[in-house]
Structures are given as structure tokens and as C-alpha cells.
Structure 1
Amino acid sequence: MTPLRVAIGICLVAPFVAMLWVGSYAKTDPAFLGIPFFYWYQMLWVIVSTALTMTAYKLWQRDQRGRAARSANGGEAK
């Protein structure tokens, strides 16, 4: 398991952990523009999750290019 793949895993797991840990955001304060915390926190994670998924995808592409280059140069891909 390479550090790059660990980073990919963290990017993909973080939104699940944040949303499944309901006790951390099951409250009304602080409100943002009159919207209770419970709602705007979840909507913020929609944006954050998108950014993290895009980051994971770009890291995956980089990892695959690196593996293909090592394989083409006669190196062993692990």
C-alpha cells in the first residue's frame, strides 16, 4: 500500500465518517444566514465531498500513470 493510495482512501472515507457521526452536527447553532447548523453542515459536505472525490480521482490517475511507466521501463509494479 503506497502513501498515494492511503491518501486516496482518506479522501474517499472522510465524507462517510463525517456524515455517519451524527452527534457531531445534530444541533441548531451556529446558524448560517438563518439556516440551522444541521442543514448547512450537510450541504457543505456535498461540496467538500465533490472536491475530495475529484482529488482522489486525480491521485488515482497519477498512480496509474506511474505504474504504467514503471511497467514499461521493466520495473515491477506492486
Structure 2
Amino acid sequence: MTPEQKGKAESRTRRSRWVLLLLLPYLGLCFPIVYAQSTPALWGFPFFYWYQFAWVILASALLAIVYRKLKT
């Protein structure tokens, strides 16, 4: 294997590890039975709603992290 091919293979491996972070929002929202409850409430919002909204913010942060890591 040439050094150039080895560098590309390492880059793909590193890339795939960062992309795995994008599975977290999917797994966090995939099973509504876990978070389909009304308590605990936060500022009057049931757990079901603020949990999903928290994942929107967290998913955006994860996308930014993965984007910056893959950009280099």
C-alpha cells in the first residue's frame, strides 16, 4: 500500500468515527416509550416536549462538531 492510499484509509476511518456521533439524536428519539411521560415538567412543559426540544439543540451542536472535524 502506498503512503497516499494509507493516508486516505486513515482519513476514512477517522471520518467514520466522527459520523457515528450523528447516531445519538436518532437513538435518543427512536424509542418514544422511554420519554413519553408528562413528568418532570420544565417551565410548565411536559417532559415529552422539552426532551425533544433539547435533542434539537443537541443535534445542532453535534452536527456543527462533526462538520468542523470533517472539514479539516
TM-score by length of 1: 0.70
1:34 correspondence with 2:49: no
- TM-superposed CA distance for 1:17, in Å, is 0.9
**Secondary structure, in 3 states, of the residue corresponding to 1:11?**
helix
- TM-superposed CA distance for 1:55, in Å, is 0.5
Provide the residue aligned with 2:16 in structure 1. Answer: 5
What number of residue pairs does the alignment pair up? 61
Gaps of 5+ in 2: 1-11
1:44-59 matches, cutoff 5 A: 44-59=54-69
Q: Report % sequence identity.
A: 34
